[in-house]
Structures are given as structure tokens and as C-alpha cells.
Amino acid sequence: MSLINKEYLELQTEILKKQSSWKKAITHDLHHSELSLKNENMPLMEQIDLKVSIPKFNSWVLELMELLSEKQTSLKGEMDQLKELLKEDTLVRWVKEVIAFNEYYFTHFAKTEKVSEWIPQFLAEHAIRPYLRQLAEVYAEELTSFKQTGTCPCCGEPVRLARLEGKVGKKVLYCPRCYASWTEKRTKCSHCGVDHDEKMIYLHLENDPTMQLYVCDDCKGYVKVIDEKQAFKKEEPAILDLKTIHLDILAQEKGYGVTIEKDRVN
Ligand SMILES: [Zn+2]
Ligand SMILES: [Zn+2]
């Protein structure tokens, strides 16, 4: 059961392919450096000065625009219009605002420039991900010791996806945005961080032993949990997240949600 259509999944798969080759192009641009004041309660992204190459970001945005125009020819006009606007200062701003999750900025930009509301943020978001994924890879070891809950320790995305891995079914959380992964006690709530088995509810789906929803009675947070032994073994986190969107809907219908970071810009 899936609520996303085949065309959308195909588009996302093509974008993922591009992102993985773009990420290879920046392997040598991003180096590990000691964090001067490491704060394990704050996403890594907020503690470092990520240097993004604007020419590369620009070329990735253009590639995404081309892909979208190919898939949906009706978008070509808007893409041509946007191309004219992609000057350096705009791209620098896009990088800054997409990292800060500033949805307001992108909605406003789209309105002012009279393009479809989803397009600017979609382009910026997909073009920044190679950097976020490279960052998560370079700092993989550090990220396992972060103590914050509710959001990804690397990029700040709300937590919503986990896998049970290995013989014992260890709970490993995955960020579908930057691919950071970290382990957590099964009985611990990924949102409020309190370990209280009596407050955790494990919802099983009818006819599907591979997926569960872990919901917390205290903070009303939820996480989609995939049993690795059963299914989706080789799917990457972004695809897994998309293919389990019906679980997000189910959780939300039942009154559960994912944390939105407190200091996100509005
Ligand atoms: Zn992340
Ligand atoms: Zn909780």
C-alpha cells in the first residue's frame, strides 16, 4: 500500500541518483575538523560553518530544473523564468534559508516572482542534500554521541524513521534528509527522550508484519519503524520514507506528530 504515485517515485529516484553523483563531486571539499565547542544537544549543522560552492549549487539547481521540465513540460515556462532570477546573491540566500528551514522565505519568494509555491524550496532542498549527506558521512562517528532528541543530530530534520537491525533488532534511527543514523534504546521515545516502556505504544499494522508505529503517550510523538529482517532491506532512507508515507498519515490521524524544532525560523 502506498499513497505516492509511480511517476513521483520515479522522479525522486532520478533525483537521488543525481544527488549521489553530486555528492561524489564534493568528497574532497568537506573535511572533518574538531568542533571547538561541541554541543551535543544541538544539531551539528548549527555548530559549523558549512562552505557551499555556489557554482556547484547553481549547476545542481539547473539540472533539477531541466529534469522537472522534461518530466512535466508545462513547467518549462516557469523554469525559464526562474533561470533568469538565479543570480549569485539569490543562490547564497537560498543556501542560507534552506539550511535554516525557512519555509516562509521560499513561499514569499515564489509569490513575489509569481512561480508555483513549491518550486523554489523543492529546488533548494534537493540541491543542498549532497552537502548535508557528505557532512553526515564525515561526522558519522561524532553524531552517534549526540544527545538531543526529536530532530536529526546532523541537519535538524524532525525524527520519523527507524529500522530494527541485526539479530537483536537494534533500533537505528535514519534521517531521510541527510542520511545520518544513530542508535537508540527501543523503549526510549525519539521525541521527548524519556525512556518509559509503559508510555510507549507499539502499533502493528494489519497484514503487514514489516512495519510498526512507535508512539509516545507522553509527548504524542511517533516514529515509523521498519523491521529490516522482513522488508525494504536495501532501500535508502529517502525512498523508505516516501514508501511509508501511509504510516505518517495513519499516525497523524490518530493524533500523533513529529517535533518541529523550537528555534526554526518562521
Ligand atoms: Zn538529517
Ligand atoms: Zn515522547
What is the pLDDT at residue 140? Answer: 93
Give the start-to-end residue ranges of the domains of the chain: 6-142, 148-253
Q: Which ligand is nearest to the CA of 196?
A: 2
Distance CA 156, CA 40 (A): 12
Between the alpha carbon of residue 83 and those of residues 11, 80, 106, the distances in Å are: 21, 5, 16
pTM above 0.95, yes or no: no
**Distance, CA 69 to ligand 1 centroid (Å)?**
28
Residue pair 121/111 in contact (Cβ under 8 Å)? The answer is: no
**Distance, CA 175 to ligand 1 centroid (Å)?**
5
**Distance, CA 73 to ligand 1 centroid (Å)?**
32
**Distance, CA 64 to ligand 2 centroid (Å)?**
37
Q: What are phi and psi of 235, to 5 degrees?
A: -70, 140
Starting at the edge strand found earlier in the chain, the sheet holding 161-165 runs 181-184, 170-174, 161-165, 222-227, 208-216, 200-205
**Distance, CA 105 to ligand 2 centroid (Å)?**
31
**Distance, CA 206 to ligand 1 centroid (Å)?**
30
Q: What are phi and psi of 29, to 5 degrees?
A: -90, -20
**Distance, CA 264 to ligand 2 centroid (Å)?**
20
Between the alpha carbon of residue 197 and those of residues 150, 163, 202, 225, the distances in Å are: 18, 18, 10, 16
Q: What are phi and psi of 27, to 5 degrees?
A: -50, -40
What is the pLDDT at residue 91? Answer: 98
What is the pLDDT at residue 2? Answer: 53
Helices 54-71/76-85 angle, 10° precision: 170
Please give the distance of CA 189 from its chain centroid, rounded to a whole number. 19
**DSSP 8-state assignment for residue 12:** H
**Distance, CA 261 to ligand 1 centroid (Å)?**
13
Average pLDDT over every residue of 119-140: 97
The whole-chain average pLDDT of the chain stands at 90
Q: What is the pLDDT confidence band of residue 108, given thresholds at 50, 70 and 90? A: very high
Question: What's the CATH code, domain 148-253?
Answer: 3.90.1670.10
Task: Report helix, strand or coil for 22.
Answer: helix
Average pLDDT over every residue of 229-256: 86
User: Residues 232, 235, 237, 241: what is their CA dihedral angle, to the nearest 10 degrees?
Assistant: -60
**Distance, CA 207 to ligand 1 centroid (Å)?**
31
Average pLDDT over every residue of 178-200: 91
Count of C-beta atoms within a 10 Å radius of residue 95? 19
**Distance, CA 45 to ligand 2 centroid (Å)?**
24
Distance CA 230, CA 60 (A): 36
Q: Is the pLDDT of residue 126 over 90?
A: yes
The pLDDT tens digits for 59-97 are 999 999 999 999 999 999 999 999 999 999 999 999 999
Distance CA 264, CA 157 (A): 10
Q: Is the pLDDT of residue 263 over 60?
A: no
The pLDDT tens digits for 152-185 are 999 999 999 999 988 888 999 999 999 999 999 9
**Distance, CA 158 to ligand 1 centroid (Å)?**
8
**Distance, CA 200 to ligand 1 centroid (Å)?**
24
Residues across the chain: 266
Specify which residues 188 forms β-bridges with. Answer: 195
**Distance, CA 255 to ligand 1 centroid (Å)?**
24
**Distance, CA 54 to ligand 2 centroid (Å)?**
39
Cell of 44: 551539528
**Distance, CA 152 to ligand 1 centroid (Å)?**
5
**Distance, CA 256 to ligand 2 centroid (Å)?**
10
Distance CA 187, CA 198 (A): 9
Q: Who surrounds ion ligand 1 at CB < 5 A?
A: 152, 154-155, 157, 175, 177-178, 180
**Distance, CA 67 to ligand 1 centroid (Å)?**
25
Cell of 243: 514508501
